[in-house]
Amino acid sequence: MAAAVVHRGPAGWWRWHRRVMVCSRTMASKTPVGFIGLGNMGNPMAKNLVKHGYPVIVYDVFPEACKEFQDLGAQVTESPADVAERADRIITMLPSSPHAKEVYTGGNGILKKVKKGSLLIDSSTIDPAVSKELAKAAEKTGAVFMDAPVSGGVGAARAGNLTFMVGGVEQEFNAAKELLTCMGSNVVYCGEVGTGQAAKICNNMLLAISMIGTAETMNLGIRLGLDPKLLAKILNMSSGRCWSSDTYNPVPGVMEGVPSANNYQGGFGTTLMAKGCFFPLSSSTLEDALKDLSSIEGIAAWFVPIKLPAFDYKASMITKREFFREI
């Protein structure tokens, strides 16, 4: 093995060294883990790492978000750079591409003080192109960046049942999976950096389509005189069954524990749906997608007033109540 490595030269030595580095990181399973971004999703995700016995080092732009973690024994830092100085495995959960860029490459960003060999896992929903950009920047410092966006929402985050879609160097997947399985029940390797984000955006697009279809179907049935509970029951034992019909039905009185049962409060709002389907994409990425999927315009129109190819992200969003009633 050693002789083979010598004959391969520097590139071969680096591949061998990286494999050893990955194995060492996996064996050091209870070393500190950094977590940046303690919002609605990041908070329960970080708590699940604590529950699994990991020493957690946290940072959030809002200091109050860190207080309960301090009570749980976590270290609280002053910046992403401070997290990188104390941990060689870091998970980020951030609102958008600009936030991710700032946390990784900003003046007090992770890459300012990251250690060589560090594993950086970003679970934000951002543009795949930005994930690739951050991966290249991390590589220059000797660190490894992987994108690992999630599906499942806050409930799944609390229960530790998230689905992670992971993109990055395949040899690093097991090291990432060790941490991600503390927060999720499904951890899927998708391919090179950016493919995790691509899978997440595709999933959100299909969800958007099914939510619109379910709302239209339920409204049609009600107008034709069908009882909504009966219609939902029929759909869920027939070929029209989908997550939006059997888990997240939009009609009040059909299901308990969903936004429609609570005057459309809480849950996955249309603003988040628009963000999950379209906001992560840069204008160039979006225009490329439009060439292959013209129906995206109709889907997007439900969530944000747009004029293609330019998106007006500042336009007001419709509410969930309007989403169902306006059909």
pLDDT in tens, 92-140: 999 989 999 999 999 999 999 999 999 999 999 998 999 999 999 999 9
Q: Where are the domains of the chain?
A: 2-193, 204-325
**Apex CA 217: angle with CA 215 and CA 218, to 5°?**
65
Give the dihedral sign, CA 194/200/206/211: negative
What does the DSSP assignment read for 8-28?
Answer: HHHHHHHHHHHHHHHHHHHH-
Enzyme catalytic residues = 200
C-alpha pair distances (Å), 42 with each of 56, 232, 295, 304: 13, 34, 33, 26
pLDDT classification of 266: cutoffs 50, 70, 90:
low
Name the nearest CA neighbour of 232 among 215, 245, 219: 245
pLDDT of residue 303: 52
- 204-325 belongs to CATH 1.10.1040.10: yes
Q: What is the pLDDT of residue 206?
A: 84
Q: Is the pLDDT of residue 282 over 80?
A: no
Task: For domain 2-193, give the fold.
Answer: Rossmann fold (3.40.50)
The predicted model scores a pTM of: 0.77
Dist CA 281 CA 158 (whole Å): 28
Contact call for residues 173 and 162 (beta carbons, < 8 A) = no
Q: Is the pLDDT of residue 91 over 80?
A: yes
Handedness of CA 288, 297, 317, 163 (dihedral sign): negative
Instruction: Report residue 238 as tokens.
Output: 């027939």
Residue 69 has pLDDT above 70, yes or no: yes
Phi, psi dihedrals of residue 280, rounded to the nearest 5° = -65, -20
- Average pLDDT, integer, range 208-229: 91
For residues 156 and 8, what is the distance between their CA atoms, to the nearest angstrom? Answer: 46
Query: Which of 75-89, 97-111, 151-165, 176-190 has the weakest average pLDDT?
Result: 151-165
pLDDT score at 29: 56
Report the distance separating Cα 194 and Cα 149, nearest Å. 10
* Percent of the chain predicted with pLDDT > 90: 61
Side-chain half-sphere of 71: how many Cα atoms within 13 Å?
Answer: 5
